[in-house]
Amino acid sequence: MAIYGDEALVAMTPELEAHLVERFALDKPLWQQFGTYFLTLFQGELGYSYYYNATVLSVILGRLPWTLLLVGTSLLLSTILGIVLGIESGWRRGSRTDRAMLAGLMSLNGFPDFFLGMLLLITFSVTWGIFPLAGALTPYSGLSGLGLLLDVLKHLFLPVAALTLAHLASGYLLTRNTMITVLKEPYMLTAKAKGLSQRVLKYRHAGRNSMLPVVTQAGIWMGRVVTGALFVEMVFAYPGVGYLTYEALLARDYPVIQGVFLIVAVSVLVINFLIDLSYPKLDPRVSHAH
């Protein structure tokens, strides 16, 4: 009965208990419960949410687009920015610009995303009122077309900014580290001796080779789409899967939590596989290995 929390025991009557036992099939042996779970899983059945009163799959699918939009945008921005900053910084290593960028971005790295989110929320929404306080859409606004798009973007801006800032540093540090080791490679000397322009040296020869670890990392991050935005979604009450997880935790809606967990695990595996497939494109040496 722990499934509803101790509070449920107060309201427990024998009839209710019998009803619950039957509803959750608690009188069946464990292996049979698991077997049924597993079989229905293959039919795309993730269970039924007793808090939202809908199937878990539909609850999660309803939230997924918002998370994908939020995390996708910020991941793209932080990866591209991180790579560019990392290349520039690594190229000028030891210089004043490099040291300032390094110290600045590492400090930024120390700010937890929910604290960044709260600061942005209080500054831009509470104090200045430029951006909306919460949610992903203005409720009952009846907007459509361009108005709707602007409304979505307005709600998206602060959460994306918080996530991008919080994750900028890891891509930057990785690129910069690889950049430094790549710049010491003999082929860089050859390229320089050929008289290639600085831009080609920096981006095509050194930069491209410094991207590999960042792509891996972005991929790992992509696998954490669902959980990565959890804190930020909570601060902005953004209706994504992270916020759903939080709501489900508060409501003890275990089927939903289980469903989220399963989807996270599967998406992580799929994305890891996709990253492995993309390696040879970035680094042809990989396909010659073995």
| Residues that bind other proteins in the complex, under the rule CB under 8 A | 93-94, 99, 102-103, 106-107, 109-112, 114-115, 118-119, 121-122, 126, 173, 177, 180-181, 184, 223-224, 226-228, 230-231, 234-235, 245-246, 249, 252, 257, 260-261, 264-265, 268-269, 272
Within 13 A of 159's CA, how many CA atoms are on the CB side? 33
In this structure, what DSSP letter does residue 187 have?
A: H
Q: Which helix (H) or strand (E) holds 55?
A: strand 54-55
Residue number, 32 or 107, with CB nearest to other proteins: 107
Residue number, 164 or 178, with CB nearest to other proteins: 178
Helix locations, 92-145, DSSP H? 96-110, 113-120
Least distance from C-beta 258 to other proteins, angstroms?
9
Residue number, 150 or 269, with CB nearest to other proteins: 269
Asked if residue 258 lies in contact with residue 47, where contact means CB atoms within 8 angstroms, the answer is: yes
Least distance from C-beta 246 to other proteins, angstroms?
7
> In one letter, which amino acid is 97?
T
> In one letter, which amino acid is 79?
T
Least distance from C-beta 147 to other proteins, angstroms?
28
Residue number, 52 or 231, with CB nearest to other proteins: 231
Q: Which residues, 6 or more positions from 30, have their beta carbon under 8 angstroms from its beta carbon?
A: none
Residue number, 45 or 98, with CB nearest to other proteins: 98
The rounded distance, in Å, linking the Cα atoms of 106 and 116 is 14
Least distance from C-beta 60 to other proteins, angstroms?
14
Least distance from C-beta 143 to other proteins, angstroms?
26
In this structure, what DSSP letter does residue 112 have?
A: -
Place of tokens 């606004």: 141
